[in-house]
Structure 1
Amino acid sequence: MKNNFNKQVEELFINANEIINTATMIKANKNSEKFEIDIPKDYKSKFFKLIDKVNLSLMEDNDNFYGYFLFQMSRDIRFDISSPTAVNFKGAKYVIYFNPLIFLQLNRKQMETSIKHEILHIISQHLLRSKDLNSRYSTLAINMAMDIVVNKYLDNLPPYATTLEWVNVNYSLKLEPYETFEYYVDKIQTELDLQEEDEDGEENDANNNESITADYDPEKTHDIWEDSDEIDEKTLKEFTEKFVNQSNKGKNPSYLNELIELIKNNKGELPWNLYLKKLMGTVESNKKKTITRRNRRQPHRLDLRGELRSHKAEVVVAIDISGSISDEEFKQAIKEVLSIVKNYNHEITIVECDNEIRRAYKVKSIKDVKDRINIRGGTKFSPVFEYANNKNINLLVYFTDGEGESRLSVIPRGYKVLWVISGRGDKLSVKESYGSIRKLSKVKIKEDRFDMSDVRTDGYSMNNQAPMI
């Protein structure tokens, strides 16, 4: 059986090269710049029979979720993708594409892994999340960050796969495992910015309009996502949930179950602490000038200095001391905040406010956090925003029971806002929030003890793995 499978693979690989050679000769004879590859129906039929065998193995595996998911997807062959497989969304379906020149060089287990890899991108909603970062990060940084995240959960990876270990070694980084996609992209981009050679422009131009790709290229592995049909975020999430529900028929690994629960129960909305991780990865870093790197926008102007990210994240954590947030909830939340921002060069200020600001002080660790002032006045949110507007901050996290003004008298300027509503709170009274709203109930309150040993520092807590991808 195994020998028969390998024989099929070998024959299909030979036929693929024959198809390419024929297309090359036709192009040469017509002296045409446009390269069209006619893939015979017979070849597609044989190729997808092989894929059916791979899919059968997936459906017989312990995590048969992937097999059922693949069964719902449309399939096609493209010789211009720079990875064994790729996905996008077309015609109300997810489509998986195969490049035979790369895919057929994998063994059977690696073929399964390549399919799992693409499905993990889908259920991690990377197709949506990457769009938010395109204007701030390079394609290479985004692609490597996404691949680090999904490959961490996969075995039998191809030798060229982008993994956490590979990136750490080749880019002299110390990235931690089980962090968010946004965390990785920011760290990788920083290292890319530190490199003296600016590779923008020329390399991309040289590779435009290629119709045949026989080698893996991490910078182009997700280019095909741009070919997806135009569809709003809500509808795409609904389609994804439908695919997930139809695929969830057996026992899954814990990381996969957590991802599925995130999609089903939260409709893709991250709990507040995971959302904060995402925000920290997207906060626009302050930049400093450097003479060791050319200016990105005008690389030929040697008189202009380039920019490097200094990664100074200024974070204000505001606490509504008049509300119903308990000391235990607040302490646990602050521990989460400090654990999250520790991965960044940050400065954090705690602001205590009821109807006016009572105290503001900086903290570097848990031991710097003071007991809350025992004052219970009325509630106004605007004083905190007035304070933040006068500081050069990147992010405001506001813990409150949600009851206060219906309209802010001060509009936030130049920073992101995350409202965190107490588990006993209902909703935010402010009609225009100018930011995102999350519930505090996602954080478990363990006990009153409040010391440094409670803070996760190793990156391996099982409660902080799969949902962060």
Structure 2
Amino acid sequence: MENKLVDQINKLRSQVKRLLLFFSNSDIKASNFTIDLPVGFEKEFFALIDKINFLLMEDEENFYGYFLFQMTRELRFDMNSATGVNFKNATYVIYFNPFIFLNLTTKQMQTSMKHEILHILSLHLIRVKKMKEKYSVLAINMAMDMVVNQYLSYLPPDAVTIETVNKEYALSLSHGKPFEYYVEKMQYAIELQEEKEEENQQKEDAIATEFDPNKTHDIWEESNELEDSTMEEFTTSLAMKAKKGEIPSYLNTLLDSLKNRKEELPWDLYLKRLMGTLDSSKKKTITRRNRRQPNRLDLRGELSGHKANILLAIDISGSIDEEEFKKAMTEVLGIINNYGHQITVVECDNEIQRIYPLKTKKDLKERSNSRGGTKFTPVFEYANKNKVDLLIYFTDGKGEEKLEVIPKGYKVLWVISGRGDTLSVKEPYGAIKKLKKVKIKDNVLDHHDVERGGFSMNHHESIL
């Protein structure tokens, strides 16, 4: 099998070499460029990936093979690394740049795939978000690679390791430290180079043929915008399915960490956090180019400071207590209005029955009488067409198992109330919270149950 694998790799290498000869003699930029691949190239390339994946599944660390088997695969020619990952349409996608990937040995190809999976298990796609406010892209990328590459053998020659970084930057970093430790040390070491690296980002070619640590994780920016808790749950689910038999101790540590992470914020603080995110969020626009990749005309730019559109969906077919409903709406209204966002109420059973704006508690109407069962899809279809920033769905959780449409460009928060226990939708595309039933005491006022509208959601519990 090894000889056949080498022959297949050599054949694919010769094909990309011929492509590179054409590119080297052409001034091709991202704005007017498409790659005309040889007939059958993509099929044969992914047949190679299947064989590499089979080798991983036969390996003693077969966890990686089973994890990779659950991922979607795509080609990507503008990526400055052999492989890359992001999160699209409720799954992890692994990308391959043949111009770089095919220069690796079979062992290095396996290592490159393991490298991406370790980024996922370490939740780097989530942890990097806050880091970008303080540290440079290069410092973050190199720090993350130093963390995951400590566990890997057969690394490509240009891989970022603690040893190569110590040599290049005259540092003395040690093994076994967390991502945050390395990024702080790296930021200090490359501070003088940051401005130059930022300038170099302004010009990007349509294809990439060399490794560049400053751009290796740029495609993470293209992941679907989901709540951290949703991505964590999805990652944990994939990891548990990939766990077959004995696995190395360092993987066990990562998996235990994933299993022990819980969303513990009470309802009101969780919603406030969402509101804060919307308040400082940026709106996509075609009138500006993307700052990070200005030559990519298919990527939209951003405008800041827009007024968010909140869609409050109410399941009128569910078993939601009227008193609980009114109190919950008072709390939601109080939190959202503090941020000045606009609210639209949508009442739905198996189809949308009524839509109206909501500014104050007086605008809240008595719920319509239900005419049918429960379907969530009509609300998501409406949200997709009306530039929504956040959808809050108040329901008892009983409905379809699969949405007929995928949420586009907005965040989703499910609120399970009444006698509901779980959400029927298997892929919710957002966070799920369960309201803990509040007991109403006769003629006794408990100050713990009073907040703003006479109701506190601090006693709610999460089902995530």
TM-score (norm 1): 0.54
Q: Which residue of 2 aligns with 1:158?
A: 156
The Cα of 1:16 is off from its aligned counterpart by 2.3
Q: What displacement does 1:39 show? A: 3.6
Whether 1:235 aligns to 2:230 is yes
CA distance in 1: counterparts of 2:193 and 2:19, whole angstroms: 42
* RMSD across aligned positions (CA): 2.5
Amino acid at match of 2:185: K
Match of 2:87, SS state, is: strand
Checking the alignment, whether the CA contact within 8 Å between 1:149 and 1:181 is kept in structure 2 is yes
The 1:78/1:173 distance shift into structure 2, 3 A limit, reads same
Task: List runs of 5+ in structure 1 lacking aligned partners.
Answer: 270-428, 433-469
What amino acid sits opposite 2:11 in the alignment?
Answer: E
1:259 to 254, 257, 260: 254
2:196 is aligned, of 199, 204, 208, to 199
Query: Are 2:239 and 1:244 equivalent residues in the alignment?
Result: yes
Aligned residue for 1:5, secondary structure, equals helix
Other-structure match for 1:12: 12
The change in CA–CA distance for 1:220 and 1:197 in structure 2 (over 3 A counts) is: closer
1:225 aligns with 2:225: no
Contact 1:137 1:185 in 2 (8 A): yes
User: Any unmatched runs of 5+ in structure 2?
Assistant: 265-447, 452-464
Deviation, 1:40, is 5.5
- The residue number in structure 2 matching 1:369 is none
How far the C-alpha of 1:262 sits from its partner, in A, is: 0.9
Distance 1:148 1:199 in 2: 23
SS of the equivalent of 1:130 reads helix
Over 3 Å counting, the alpha-carbon distance change for 1:47 and 1:32 in structure 2 is closer
Q: How does 1:50-449 map to 2 (within 5 A)?
A: 50-193=48-191, 195=192, 198-207=195-204, 210-267=205-262
CA shift, 1:10, in A, is 1.1
- Residues 36, 166 of structure 1: alpha-carbon distance in 2 compared, 3 angstrom cutoff: same
Contact 2:30 2:206 in 1 (8 A): no
Per the TM alignment, residue 50 of structure 1 is displaced from its structure 2 partner at its CA by: 0.6
User: SS of the residue aligned with 2:84?
Assistant: strand
Aligned residues: 267
Q: Aligned partners of 1:58 and 1:196: how far apart in 2?
A: 39
Task: Measure, in 2, the Cα distance between the counterparts of 1:84 and 1:99.
Answer: 5
Residues 78 and 206, structure 2, Cα contact 8 Å, conserved in 1:
yes
Letter of the 1:106 partner, please give it: L
Shift of 1:86: 0.3
Q: Could you tell me how far apart the structure 1 residues matched to 2:106 and 2:193 are?
A: 41
Could you say which residue in structure 1 is the equivalent of 2:41? 43
Query: CA shift at 1:198, angstroms?
Result: 4.1
Deviation (angstroms), 1:41: 6.5
Letter in 2 for 1:43: F
CA contact (8 A) 1:76 1:96 kept: yes
For 1:58, what is the secondary structure of its paired residue?
helix
Any idea what SS the aligned residue of 1:158 has?
Answer: coil
1:62 aligned partner, one-letter code = E
Q: Is the 8 A contact 1:74 1:93 kept in 2?
A: yes
Shift of 1:19: 4.2
Q: State the SS of the aligned residue for 1:178.
A: coil
**In 2, distance between residues paired with 1:266 and 1:231?**
17
Q: CA deviation at 1:38?
A: 3.6
Aligned equivalents of 1:134, 1:197: Cα separation in 2: 13
In the TM superposition, what is the alpha-carbon distance from 1:34 to its structure 2 partner? 1.5
State the percentage of identical aligned residues.
49
Alpha carbons 2:229, 2:263 under 8 Å: kept: no
Cα shift at 1:15: 1.6
- Equivalents in 2 of 1:32, 1:163: separation in Å? 31
- Judged with a 3 Å threshold, the aligned counterparts in structure 2 of structure 1 residues 108 and 203 are, in CA distance, closer, same or farther, namely same
Kept in 2: contact 1:69–1:243 (CA 8 A):
yes
User: How far off its partner does 1:230 sit?
Assistant: 1.2
User: Which amino acid in structure 1 is aligned with residue 13 of structure 2?
Assistant: F
Match of 1:353 in 2: none
Letter in 1 for 2:163: E
Kindly provide the CA deviation profile for residues 365-398 of structure 1, in whole angstroms up to 9, marking residues without a partner as x.
xxxxxxxxxxxxxxxxxxxxxxxxxxxxxxxxxx
Distance 1:100 1:200, change over 3 A: closer
Moved over 3 A (4+): 17-28, 38-41, 195-198
> In structure 2, do the counterparts of structure 1 residues 42 and 234 end up closer, same or farther at CA, with 3 Å as the change threshold?
same
In structure 2, how many angstroms separate the alpha carbons of the residues matched to 1:74 and 1:148? 26
CA positional deviation for 1:266: 2.8
Q: 1:92 to 1:41 in 2, by over 3 A?
A: farther
Q: What is the TM-score of this pair, normalised by structure 2?
A: 0.54
Deviations 1:428-452 (A, max 9, x none): x9x99xxxxxxxxxxxxxxxxxxxx
**Structure 1 Cα separation of the partners of residues 243 and 251 of structure 2:** 10
